[in-house]
């Protein structure tokens, strides 16, 4: 039996990718996808290993020259504050990376995710803005850098320090949560117990787990997680655009009936679409390799920062090879390109997905 680093069996629900020192697991859906991803099927992406943290001894420090006073919170302190719940998707920056190779012929190094490095959960906790206000946020503060309590990240003998990434203050003060609960339960160890950030609509790395410190600064600081990684590198990538924040619009096909579709018989095509900080405006589906498109029906919550479910009936009228394509457009007018923009690390694969299918003659 395949087991992950914590010794848990990895079976029907997960694909395991041994990656550097950690182990990443992605969700694999073989049927209808629920609105909220059950915690035990939620993808995991750890740079090293999930630390075991004593909740009684744990403290969250708010520090730096961007606040008037250093403040320290215990878990009990945070639990006494009014809790807010957000239904929000969390998506890894490299979700879909495998398709740079499979669909575009330019394989990229890193965890070879399919589209299982995304999940939607109900996150509950305290707005980050509330904690920053309480510490006396200075008017000229520009960033908050959350720091994780997992092991320092060492690659090829280079110690990059604790996992951390600066977050611009406007986003930090907008809708970011210091989450204590996921789907109504205290965070699981793999998902950041006892506290993590949830940064809606942004690349997964922004949502630092096992939170130990929030450093608020009046000058811009860097970390390897916004200079070396989680930034676009390669030809054509320079300047401010290269630093990754907001996630693009994407869509997938999850269901296309059982076995090969048959001429004259209706099958249900269904899947999901999501768009980071936006909601999904429409999903179009082509069953003839992109020549003609039909609009799919959207259902489910379709919230900003969440995902929408789509479906479309299809009755094939000729046998042989077909190609299904799915393309989403969001409420800000962004749409999926035919080809994802290349970059050295295979981030943000957002191209229209192509699914070859064979249609059978009836009665064979």
Ligand X SMILES: Nc1nc2c(c(=O)[nH]1)N[C@H]1C(S)=C(S)[C@@H](COP(=O)(O)O)O[C@H]1N2
Strand 59-63's sheet: what is its strand order?
Answer: 71-74, 59-63, 211-217, 143-148, 167-168
Question: 135 vs 198, which CB is nearer to Mo ion?
Answer: 198
Please confirm whether the linkage preceding 236 is cis (ω < 30° from 0). no
Q: What are the φ/ψ torsions at residue 30 (nearest 5 degrees)?
A: -115, 40
Decide which of Mo ion, ligand X, none touches 47; Cβ closer than 5 to 8 Å per partner kind. ligand X
Toward Mo ion, which CB reaches closer, 5 or 45? 45
In sequence order, the β-bridge partners of residue 125 are 84, 179
> In the numeric block, which tokens belong to residue 178?
């210091």
The piece of 36-44, 233-241, 293-301, 321-329 that touches ligand X (CB under 6 A) is: 36-44
- Nearest residue to Mo ion, using CB? 92
Question: How is 192-227 classified by DSSP, letter by letter?
Answer: TTT-EEE-TTB-GGGS-SSEEEEEEESS----HHHH
d(CA 195, CA 360) in angstroms, rounded, equals 52
Per CB under 6 A, does 346 bind ligand X? Answer: no
Does residue number 250 form part of the binding site for ligand X (CB under 6 A)? Answer: no
Q: Which of 127, 192, 204, 261 binds Mo ion (CB under 5 A)?
A: 204
Q: Which stretch binds Mo ion (CB under 5 A): 21-29, 129-137, 196-204, 286-294?
A: 196-204
Structure tokens belonging to residue 54:
């004593």
Q: Which of 191, 215, 231, 272 binds ligand X (CB under 6 A)?
A: 191
271 part of the interface to ligand X, by CB under 6 A: no
Q: Does the protein bind ligand X through residue 284 (CB under 6 A)?
A: no
Residue among 127, 131, 129 at smallest CA distance from 63: 131
Q: Which residue is nearest to ligand X (CB)?
A: 148
Q: Provide Rg for the chain, Cα atoms.
A: 21
Stretch that binds ligand X, among 170-178, 205-213, 299-307, 328-336 (CB under 6 A): 205-213
Find how far residue 180's CA is from the centre of its chain: 18
| Part of the chain binding ligand X (CB under 6 A), chosen from 12-20, 38-46, 101-109, 266-274 | 38-46
Q: Is residue 45 near Mo ion by the rule CB under 5 A? A: yes
Closer residue to ligand X (CB): 281 or 350: 350
- Contacting residue, 23, 92, 182, 326, with Mo ion by CB under 5 A: 92
Binding of ligand X by 329 (CB under 6 A): no
Peptide bond preceding 194: is omega within 30 degrees of 0, i.e. cis? Answer: yes
- Please answer whether residues 352 and 293 qualify as being in contact, where contact means their C-beta atoms are separated by less than 8 angstroms: no
Q: Are strands 154-155 and 71-74 parallel, antiparallel or unpaired?
A: unpaired
Rounded to whole angstroms, the Cα distance separating 302 from 279 reads 6
Q: Which of 27, 46, 226, 336 binds ligand X (CB under 6 A)?
A: 46
Contact range with ligand X by CB under 6 A, out of 40-48, 99-107, 216-224, 340-348: 40-48
Count of residues in contact with ligand X, rule CB under 6 A: 19
Closest to Mo ion by CB, 45 vs 196, is 45
Collapsing DSSP states into helix, strand and coil, what is residue 40? helix
Write down the least CB distance from residue 295 to ligand X, Å: 32
Tell which one of 23, 53, 89, 90 touches ligand X (CB under 6 A). 90
Is residue 231 a contact residue for Mo ion (CB under 5 A)? no
Q: Residue 247 and residue 348: Cα distance in Å, rounded?
A: 7
Does position 88 bind ligand X by CB under 6 A? no
Of 99 and 210, the one with the shorter C-beta distance to ligand X is 210
278, 321 contact by CB (below 8 A): no
Q: What is the residue whose two structure tokens read 């509950």?
A: 124
How many Å apart are CA 117 and CA 315, to the nearest integer?
A: 31
247 binds ligand X, rule: CB under 6 A: no
Choose the contact partner of 43 out of ligand X, Mo ion, none; CB within 5 to 8 A by kind.
ligand X
> Which residues contact Mo ion by CB under 5 A?
45, 92, 204
> Which residues contact ligand X by CB under 6 A?
42-47, 90, 92, 148, 150, 163, 190-191, 204-205, 207-210
């Amino acid at each position: 039996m395949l087991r992950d680093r914590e010794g848990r069996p990895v079976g029907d629900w997960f694909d395991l990718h041994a990656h550097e020192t950690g182990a990443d697991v992605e969700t694999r859906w073989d049927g209808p996808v629920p609105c909220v991803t059950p915690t035990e099927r939620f993808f995991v992406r750890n740079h090293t290993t999930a630390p075991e943290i004593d909740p009684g001894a744990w403290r969250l420090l708010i520090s730096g020259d961007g606040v008037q006073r250093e403040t320290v919170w215990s878990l009990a302190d945070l639990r006494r504050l009014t809790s807010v719940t957000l239904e929000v998707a969390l998506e890894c920056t490299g979700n879909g990376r495998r398709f740079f190779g499979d669909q575009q012929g330019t394989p990229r190094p890193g965890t070879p995710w399919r589209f299982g490095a995304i999940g939607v959960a109900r996150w509950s906790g305290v707005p980050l803005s509330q904690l920053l206000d309480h510490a006396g946020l200075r008017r000229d503060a520009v960033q908050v850098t959350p720091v994780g309590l997992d092991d320092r990240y060492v690659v090829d003998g280079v110690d990059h320090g604790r996992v951390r990434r600066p977050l611009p203050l406007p986003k930090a003060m907008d809708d970011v949560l210091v989450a204590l609960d996921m789907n109504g339960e205290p965070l699981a160890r793999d998902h950041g117990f006892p506290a993590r950030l949830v940064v809606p609509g942004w690349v997964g790395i922004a949502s630092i787990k096992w939170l130990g410190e929030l450093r608020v600064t009046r000058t811009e600081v860097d970390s390897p997680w916004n200079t070396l990684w989680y930034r676009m590198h390669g030809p054509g990538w320079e300047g401010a655009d290269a630093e990754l924040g907001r996630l693009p619009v994407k869509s997938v096909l999850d269901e296309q009936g059982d076995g090969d579709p048959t001429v004259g018989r209706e099958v249900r095509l269904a899947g999901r679409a999501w768009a980071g900080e936006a909601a999904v405006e429409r999903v179009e589906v082509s069953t003839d390799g992109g020549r003609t498109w039909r609009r799919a029906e959207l259902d489910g919550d379709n919230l900003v920062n969440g995902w929408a479910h789509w479906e479309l009936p299809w009755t094939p009228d000729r046998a042989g090879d077909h190609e299904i394509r799915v393309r989403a457009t969001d409420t800000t007018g962004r749409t999926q390109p035919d080809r994802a923009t290349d970059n050295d690390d295979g981030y943000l694969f957002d191209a229209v997905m192509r699914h070859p299918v064979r249609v059978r003659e009836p009665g064979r």
